[in-house]
Amino acid sequence: AYYQRVKKINTEGPKVFGNLPLIPPLSALEFRILSEDDDCLIIDAREITAYGGGHIKNAIHIGLRASFPIWAGEIIDETFPVWAGRMLDPDLNLGLILPEDTPVEEAQLYLFRIGYEKISGYLRGGFRTWFEAGFAFERTEQWSVYELDQRIKDQAQIQILDVRTEAEWERGHIPGAKQIYVPDLLGKMDELDRSRPVVTYCGTGYRASIASSILKKEGFKVHNIPGSMSAWRQAGFPEEVVQTE
């Protein structure tokens, strides 16, 4: 999604900063004020279970991975800059929540390389300072593949959403699942039933957690599957394969 924008920047020549601009560390109160700004999007870059255990309302989860984008065949290496480029609006100001002991420059450099320069601040001290300040937070329940299998057997009224590519889906997916590739999710919300919980999964849980944060921001009740299809297969549960002629 960001290729056309970056192509234009490269053609015209990017702004020269010399050094990365300083991103201000914000107290929990300052960050709460920032998070309430309609023109700001909060990116939670912690790992899947950390985000699931507690996060700021309406934050989008894109876990910070150290490796730079790598393309391997048809499957994208699941890295922060690739998915940030696919999912973020460059016109919004960004606020960052980082894993503890992670320098802000790491996320900033990734974002700058794909043309995201409007970063208003990051939460000083990490998410711990948020709940220690007594501010409200939300959770996204994480299910193991064993819990999901049991709910399928119990015929629970859930929607199982596979957010991988169509090629991945065709090679094997959880029985009864619906496929919507995560970058297409915002444009296909009407294909989901808002009255029933959505269970998201992908290859390992990374893209599924991005999808769960988007769905939750849009008002869905969501559960995420860490390990996702990899864990499902390792546990020996059945899968469906799309037969092609």
Q: How far, in Å, CA of 211 to CA of 176, rounded?
A: 18
Which residues touch 53 (CB under 8 Å, ≥6 apart)?
A: 139
Q: Is 40 annotated as catalytic?
A: no
| Cα separation, 235 vs 229, whole angstroms | 10
Are 85 and 114 in contact, with CB atoms under 8 Å apart?
yes
Evaluate the CA torsion angle 156, 211, 191, 73 in order and state its sign: negative
Query: What is the rounded distance in angstroms from the CA atom of residue 197 to the CA atom of residue 182?
Result: 17
Give me the helices (H) in 124-205, please. 127-132, 145-153, 166-171
In the block, tokens 């199982």 appear at: 160
H-run or E-run covering 43: strand 40-44
Could you give the maximum distance between any two Cα atoms of the chain, in Å?
59
Q: Which of 97, 180, 202, 214 is catalytic?
A: 202
H runs (alpha helix) in the chain: 3-12, 28-35, 48-53, 80-87, 104-113, 127-132, 145-153, 166-171, 206-217, 228-234
Q: Residue 39 is inside which H or E element, if any?
A: none
Residue numbers annotated as active site: 202
